[in-house]
């Protein structure tokens, strides 16, 4: 599907119960729940931006990974798994077994995708930028307690494939 199709539903689902961000780095794979995401065009390319805090297990993977995938459920079927993957760290628990998530090989990237995971985006990291607190509105800086150092880094993924899984 053209990557921009369903963007309104994707954003609505991010707001509702979230989506799965999956990253594979070497032998390690993890899926975390994200409620933030930006979609559109940059460098004349289709881009999906995801953000990960330094304290997250996913940060250890994505910061040196080449790619990631995003799976955006179309309905409530994954709500429980999203809640679980958003509250438990993949460093300590096998989320896939626990949540009955079957991962399949992607078409264009190393990171796998979630079987039946809905709107699916395969992305290659083309840019990353850690938050610069000096340029952030003070209210946001405080709201997310960034001054303690646990900042978000934004990863810009070029969308290499998008489809419904």
- For its own copies, the closer of residues 40 and 100 by Cβ is 40
Sign for the pseudo-dihedral over CA of 137, 143, 149, 150? negative
d(CA 141, CA 147): 7
Binding its own copies by CB under 8 A: which of 115, 127, 142, 164? 127
Q: How far is the CB of 125 from its own copies (least distance, A)?
A: 8
Chain residues 25-44 in contact with its own copies, contact rule CB under 8 A:
35-44
Q: Among candidates 26, 11, 107, 118, which has minimal Cα distance to 72? A: 118
For residue 26, give the nearest of 54, 55, 56, 67 by alpha carbon. Answer: 67
Q: What's the closest the beta carbon of residue 52 comes to its own copies, in angstroms?
A: 12
- Span 45-104, contacts to its own copies by CB under 8 A: 47, 49, 51
CB 154 within 8 A of CB 131: yes
State the residues that interact with its own copies by CB under 8 A: 2, 4-8, 11-12, 14-15, 35-44, 47, 49, 51, 126-129, 131-132, 135-137, 140, 143-144
């Amino acid at each position: 599907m053209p990557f921009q199709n369903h963007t309104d539903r994707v954003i609505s689902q991010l707001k509702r119960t979230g989506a799965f961000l999956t990253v594979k780095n070497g032998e390690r794979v993890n899926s975390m729940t994200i409620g933030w995401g930006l979609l559109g065009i940059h460098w004349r390319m289709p881009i999906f931006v995801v953000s990960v805090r330094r304290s997250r297990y996913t940060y250890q993977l994505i910061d040196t990974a080449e790619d990631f995938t995003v799976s955006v459920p179309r309905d409530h079927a994954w709500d429980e798994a999203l809640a679980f993957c958003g509250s438990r760290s993949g460093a300590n628990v096998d989320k896939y077994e626990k949540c009955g998530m079957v991962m399949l090989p992607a078409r264009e990237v190393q990171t796998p995708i979630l079987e039946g995971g809905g709107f699916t985006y395969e992305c290659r990291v083309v840019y990353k930028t850690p938050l610069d607190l000096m340029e952030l509105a003070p209210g946001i800086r405080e709201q997310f307690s960034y001054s303690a150092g646990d900042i978000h880094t934004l990863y810009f993924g070029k969308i290499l494939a998008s489809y419904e899984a």
